[in-house]
Amino acid sequence: PTVIYTATSGPGSQVQVQALATGSGEDLVHWVRHPANPVLSEVPAISGQQRDFRDPFVWREDDGWYMVLGCRIEGNGGMIPLYRSPDLVDWEYLGPMITGDVDKHGRMWECPNFFKLGDKWVLYFSSIHDDRTNTVYWISGDFDGRRFHPETDGVLDYGYYYAPLCIEDSQGRRLMWGWLREGRSISEQVNANWSGVQAIPRVLSLDSQQRLVMETVAELAGIRGAHTQLGAQDLNGEIPLDCGSLSLELRASFAAQGQVALGLAQAADGSYGADISWDAATQELTVTRRDNSLFNDSEPCVAPHELAADETLDLLVLLDGSVLEIIANGRSSITSRIYPPDAGCTGLALTGAGARMNSLDVWQMQPIFP
C-alpha cells in the first residue's frame, strides 16, 4: 500500500508539501517514507501564497496518475490545482482545474474529492469561510482532462458534517465518510476525553437533474433491532412513540403539505433532545436543539428543501447517542450533535399541522461490535 499525504517542509514550518510513503506490514501501522520526499513542494504561482497547499486526492487514468489538492488564490478564493504523474513521484502541473468565488464558496478549499458518477464528474470540497461556518460544497459537471466545467452545485450538509473522503468499493459503489465536529466547548471535550466521530458511510449518486444524492449503506440494515411501524394518517397534533433507545433509524414519508415535526432524544419533562421540522410554506428543513446551554452554537440548522408537485417528503433519520444525521429525499442533509445527559432521554414524538403521513418505520439499532 502507498499513501500520498501532506507534510511540512521542516520542523516548525507551516509550508505544506506533498510526500509519499509505503506500508511495511499488513496492519498499516508502520510506514516507510519515500527517499525522494517531498514529491511535490512548489505551490502554483497563481496562488500567490505558500501556506495552504494540502489534502491530496489521487486517481488513475489510462495515461497515468492524477492528483488534485486543496489550495487558494490570495484574495480571490479557493482553487483546485491538477497534476499528472507516471509513477506517483514526478508530478507535472496541468494548471488550475477550477477556481472559486470567495463570496460564494469561501476563501480556502480543503479536502477535495474528484470522481466520476455515470457520465458526469463530481467535485466536493470543504471550504473555509471568514464570515460563516465552514461548509462542504459539491459541484457536478464535465471534465476535459484539464479543466472542470461546472453545471450543478449545492451544499452537501447544513450542519456539523465536514472534511468527507470517499472511495470506490469492490461493488462499484462510491462511498463517503464524513467527520462530525463537536458542538460542545473545548473544555467539555477535554473532560469527556474524546472529540469527533465519523458519520455512517453514505453511497453517492446523481439524480436526473445532476444533483448529488446520498443514501446510507445497505449493510446498516444488518444491525436493525426492534421495529415500530405506523401507517397512513392525517397529522393534526402529537403522536408519542415509545422506542426506548438512543440508537435508532427512522424512515418516514409525508405528503408535501402543512407542517410536520419530529422530536427525539427527549427527557420525560420534554427537555433536551432535538426537533426536526419541515414547513411547506417555507420549503425549509430545520433542526432545533432544545437545551441551548449545552452547546457553543445555539442557532438552528436550516436547509432549503423544495419539493416538486409530485414529490413526497422522505426523511431518513439516524440517532446514535450524541450524533444526529438527517437526509431528506436523498439530497438535503443536516448533521447535528445533541449530547443527551443520560440514557433515559428516549422520548420520540411526531407532530403535524395540516400534514399527512404516508408511512413511518423506526428500528432500534444494535451495537456494531458484539
User: Looking at the structure, do residues 245 and 346 belong to the same domain, yes or no?
Assistant: yes
Q: What is the pLDDT of residue 311?
A: 97
| Strand-by-strand arrangement of the 92-99 sheet | 53-61, 64-73, 77-85, 92-99
Exposed/middle/buried for residue 87 (C-beta within 10 Å: 0-12, 13-18, 19+): exposed
User: Looking at the structure, do residues 355 and 253 belong to the same domain, yes or no?
Assistant: yes
User: Looking at the structure, do residues 10 and 92 belong to the same domain, yes or no?
Assistant: yes
Q: What is the mean pLDDT of the chain?
A: 93
Q: Is 296 a residue whose pLDDT tops 70?
A: no
DSSP state of 170: T
Q: How confident is the model at residue 341 (pLDDT cuts 50, 70, 90)?
A: confident
Q: Is 369 a residue whose pLDDT tops 70?
A: no
Please say whether the beta carbons of 315 and 207 come within 8 A: no
DSSP notation for 53-112: EEEEEEEEETTEEEEEEEEEETTTEEEEEEEEESSSSS-EEEEEEEE--HHHH-SEEEEE
Q: Is 103 a residue whose pLDDT tops 70?
A: yes
For 129-148, what is each residue's pLDDT tens digit? Answer: 988 889 999 999 999 999 99
Pairwise CA distance, residues 224 & 198, whole Å: 19
Between 309 and 169, the higher pLDDT residue: 169
Q: Is position 173 within any domain?
A: no
Q: Give the bridge partners for 64, in sequence order.
A: 61
Q: What is the pLDDT of residue 214?
A: 98
Q: Is 328 a residue whose pLDDT tops 80?
A: yes
CA distances from 301 to 19, 146, 332 (A): 38, 37, 12
CA within 13 Å, CB half, 199: 35
Pairwise CA distance, residues 330 & 204, whole Å: 9
Q: What is the pLDDT of residue 30?
A: 92
Proportion of the chain above pLDDT 70, given as a percent: 98
For 121-131, b/e burial (b = at least 16 CB within 10 A) is bbbbbbbbeee
φ, ψ (nearest 5 deg) of residue 219: -60, -20
Please say whether the beta carbons of 5 and 56 come within 8 A: yes
Q: What is the pLDDT of residue 243?
A: 79
Q: Is position 43 within any domain?
A: yes
The CATH number linked to 127 is 2.115.10.20
Number of domains, the chain: 2
Average pLDDT over residues 143-160: 97
User: Looking at the structure, do residues 150 and 256 belong to the same domain, yes or no?
Assistant: no
Structural element, H or E, at residue 164: strand 161-168
Pairwise CA distance, residues 249 & 325, whole Å: 10
DSSP notation for 18-56: EEEEEE-STTS--EEE-TT--SB----GGG--SS-EEEE
Q: What is the pLDDT of residue 292?
A: 56
Q: Is 3 a residue whose pLDDT tops 90?
A: yes
User: Looking at the structure, do residues 151 and 270 belong to the same domain, yes or no?
Assistant: no
Q: Of 132, 155, 178, which residue sits at a domain end? A: 155
For 235-279, what is each residue's pLDDT tens digit? Answer: 999 999 877 789 999 999 999 999 999 999 888 887 788 999 999
Q: What is the pLDDT of residue 118?
A: 96
Q: What is the pLDDT of residue 271?
A: 78
The CATH number linked to 273 is 2.60.120.560
Q: How far apart, in Å, do the first and last CA atoms of the chain sit?
A: 30
Assigned C-alpha cell, 226 = 426492534
DSSP state of 351: E
Q: Is position 76 within any domain?
A: yes
For 48-100, what is each residue's pLDDT tens digit? Answer: 988 899 999 999 999 999 999 999 999 899 999 999 999 999 999 999 999 99
User: Looking at the structure, do residues 271 and 151 belong to the same domain, yes or no?
Assistant: no
For 171-229, what is each residue's pLDDT tens digit? Answer: 999 999 999 999 888 998 999 899 999 999 999 999 999 999 999 999 999 999 999 99
User: Looking at the structure, do residues 53 and 146 belong to the same domain, yes or no?
Assistant: yes
User: Looking at the structure, do residues 150 and 7 belong to the same domain, yes or no?
Assistant: yes
Q: Is 293 a residue whose pLDDT tops 90?
A: no
Q: Is position 341 within any domain?
A: yes
Q: Is 117 a residue whose pLDDT tops 80?
A: yes
Alpha helices in the chain (DSSP H): 102-105, 186-192
User: Looking at the structure, do residues 7 and 145 belong to the same domain, yes or no?
Assistant: yes
Q: Of 105, 129, 155, which residue sits at a domain end? A: 155
Domain hosting 298: range is: 225-365
Q: What is the pLDDT of residue 345?
A: 87
Q: What is the pLDDT of residue 242?
A: 77
User: Looking at the structure, do residues 19 and 114 belong to the same domain, yes or no?
Assistant: yes
Q: Is 291 a residue whose pLDDT tops 80?
A: no
